[in-house]
Structures are given as C-alpha cells and as structure tokens.
Amino acid sequence: MQNFSGDTLSWELIDGVVELALHRPPCNEIGSATLQELEQFAEALQAVTGEAHALIIHSRLKPGFCAGADLRELYHRSQELSAEESEAGVRDFLERIHRVMNTIDASPLTTIAAVHGVTFGGGFELALTCDLIVADKMARFCFPELRLGLIPGFGGIPRLKRDLGNGIVRDLLLTGRSINATKAQAIGLVSQLTAEGEALRVARLTAAQVGKFDRATSAAAKRFIKPIPYAELRQEIETFCNLFTKPAVEAGLRKFVESTDAQPYLP
Amino acid sequence: MRTLEQTTDEILGLAATHFKVSPDELSPDDDFFKKLGIDSLQALELLTRLENHFQVELPDYEVQGVTDFRTLAERIQARL
C-alpha cells in the first residue's frame, strides 16, 4: 500500500496497521473533497489486505473525530440547483458514501475507530463502521439530524441498531441528544475508554494485539459476528431522499448556515 | 449528598481550572459564555467535564439556553 497525504485525510501502513488520519478543519466535516479522498482510501484498502491486519481511523484535529456532513456545502449546492437536481446530487453523494462505509465495514482487517471530542452525525456513522470504538473520555456522540428535518444518512441507524438495543437507539435518534464516552461504554457502543489524548495510543496497542492471531480466523470471526445490514441501508437512503425534498430541510440547513456561532454543533 | 451551594462551587472551580480563569473572577450568576469566552464547542467540552466530574448525564436539551453557573448547578443537582 502506498502512503497517501491528501487535503482532507492521509493514510500510511505501519507494521501491518493502516492508519487513516482525518485532518480537514474545523472538525473533519465530510463534503465532496473528503468523499473523493475516502473513495481513494476505500480502493486502496481493498488492495492492502495481504499486507495488513488492522485499520485505525482517527483525527488529527483538536475539536474531535468528525462533526459529520459538511452542511454548509450541502446548503450552498442546493441553492444553486433546481429541487430535482439537488435531490439527484444528494442521492449520488449518499450512494457514494455508502459504498465507502460498506467497504470499511466489510474489510477483513480488524478496524478500530480511535475517537475524541465531537463524534457527531456522519462522524458517528464512520465510527460505527468499525469493529471497535476506542474513545477518549472527552468524546461525545450524537445524531443531530432530526433538527434539520432529516435522519442520519451515512448508514447510522442500521449500524447503531446492529450494535445496541432499540431503546437507546430511539432515544439518541428522536431526542438528538449527545452522550459522553462513559455513557457510550455503559451501553456497549464504546469497547475501550481512555484518558484524554490517549485513544490513538490505546488503539495502536489493540491493533498490535490483534496482529498476533491468524488473519483468516479473525476475518471469519468478524463475518460471523458483524453482518452488514444491506437491506436497511438501502431503505435509509430512500427515506433520507424522500425527507430531503421537504421545506423543513431547507429551513433547518439555512438556520445552521446562518448561525453566527463558530461551531453550531449543539442540537 | 451535595448541597446546591457545594455543587455551584465545584462547577466554578472546575470551570476556572479548565478555562484558565482565576476562581475569584467567577460568581454563580455570571454568564459563562461571556465570562469564560467560550463558544458552543467549548460549552460541549464543559458539559462533558461536568458529567464526568459529577458522574451524571445531562442531556443537551436540559442545558440549552442556560448561560449562568447557578442554573447549570440546579440542572446538575436535579440529577445527583
């Protein structure tokens, strides 16, 4: 695998561990530039399997792992296009990001999200594709999409349902509240909790442990225990696209974009 | 069980430590956004620190619109 250093993310292969670092300020919002580089990464990941045993995804930015979709880009693009073109653009984006997420989810490598700070929306969904979430105790998780008149669109609900009981899934989705890493560990979302600033180090130690086992056995165990909910993921795209045409979405996006707060993350 | 005054004092101490402000400069009725000079992202960090310190859950909607330390202490007290 060739190391890569892009505008929004970089990756390198070190001792059998692929490390994908997100670094698009302010908090790794996923827009078209990130999507394009994530697609390059997904392609490289599929080719690397013989050389590696684990993948770690982390952020180099202080505010957090990832604040989700780039809502400013989404709003401005939708203003330039007709309603039909805008919906088609969103559908295309969702189809592409789902392919990336599904590739990471299905990777035979053992995958670890090392998260800190803001892990919201699409960032939370990216973490949910991984086999393990290692969280710094200052991490926070949230699905704030309902305040925009939308549902999570990057595969979040089916993957959260795969991992957690429906009660907490409904709470997170329908209230849009955020939870801290301690709570996330208590409900079974986070597998390892670390001190502040230590998530990546702990993830590296975990990746080294994973490397001691036979790869084929680890991959078989993963396939057995972590089925990918393809039918529900498709359903999610359809529901998202149906909701996207409603007036509440434009109003919600405008409110977000016009907010004077530098980091309008609170739902 | 802490009293409301104790909870308030602990919040002021924690805020002073983490946002590098002298504890003498903070009082219960202060607007913490203005006094600490924080944005909503840092407010989220403060929320996480308070949850970790008091070992409570504070849903965002319970503290939304809260800007002073005293009301914040009341919200936490209700969860202790």
Question: What whole-number distance in Å separates Cα of residue B80 and Cα of residue B75?
Answer: 9
Test B52 with A180 for CB contact under 8 angstroms: yes
Task: Give the domain range for residue B19.
Answer: 4-77
Quote the mean pLDDT of chain B.
91
Provide the number of structural domains found in chain A.
Answer: 1
ipTM of the prediction:
0.86
Backbone angles phi, psi at A80, to 5 degrees: -85, -15
Q: What is the pTM of this model?
A: 0.93
| Overall domain count for chain B | 1
Number of residue pairs across A and B with CB atoms under 8 Å? 53
Model pLDDT, residue B1: 85
Question: Has residue B49 got a pLDDT over 60?
Answer: yes
| CATH code for the domain of B60 | 1.10.1200.10
Search chain A and give the residue with CA nearest B47: A180
Q: What is the pLDDT of residue A247?
A: 86
| Residues of chain B neighbouring A27 (CB-CB closer than 8 A) | 41
List the structure tokens of A131.
Answer: 């086999």
In a domain, A40, yes or no: yes
What residue in B sits closest to A196 (Cα-Cα)? Answer: B49
State whether A266 and B43 contact (CB < 8 Å). yes
Would you give per-residue pLDDT tens digits along chain A (267 residues)? 889 999 999 999 999 999 999 999 999 999 999 999 999 999 999 998 689 999 999 999 999 999 999 988 988 888 888 888 888 999 999 999 999 999 999 999 999 999 999 999 999 999 999 999 999 999 999 999 998 889 999 999 999 999 998 899 999 999 999 999 999 999 999 999 999 999 999 999 999 999 999 999 999 999 999 999 999 999 999 999 999 988 888 888 888 888 766 445 554
Sequential DSSP letters for chain A: ---EE-SSEEEEEETTEEEEEE--TTT--B-HHHHHHHHHHHHHHHHHTTT-SEEEEEE-STTEEE--B-HHHHHHHHHHS-HHHHHHHHHHHHHHHHHHHHHHHH-SSEEEEEE-BEEETHHHHHHHTSSEEEEETT-EEE--GGGGT----SSHHHHHHHHS-HHHHHHHHHH--EEEHHHHHHTTS-SEEE-TT-HHHHHHHHHHHHTTS-HHHHHHHHHHH----HHHHHHHHHHHHHHHTSHHHHHHHHHHHH--SSS----
Put simply, whether B16 touches A (Cβ < 8 Å) is: no
What integer is the mean pLDDT of B47-75?
A: 92
pLDDT digits 0-9 by tens, A228-255: 999 999 999 999 999 998 888 888 888 8
Domain extent, residue A119, equals 4-258
**Could you tell me if residue A266 is inside a domain?**
no
Of B39, B48, B61, the CB nearest to A140: B48
Q: Which residues of A touch B47 (CB under 8 A)?
A: 140
Residue A55 lies in a domain: yes
What is the CATH number for A125? 3.90.226.10
Out of A140, A175, A179, closest to residue B61 by CB? A175
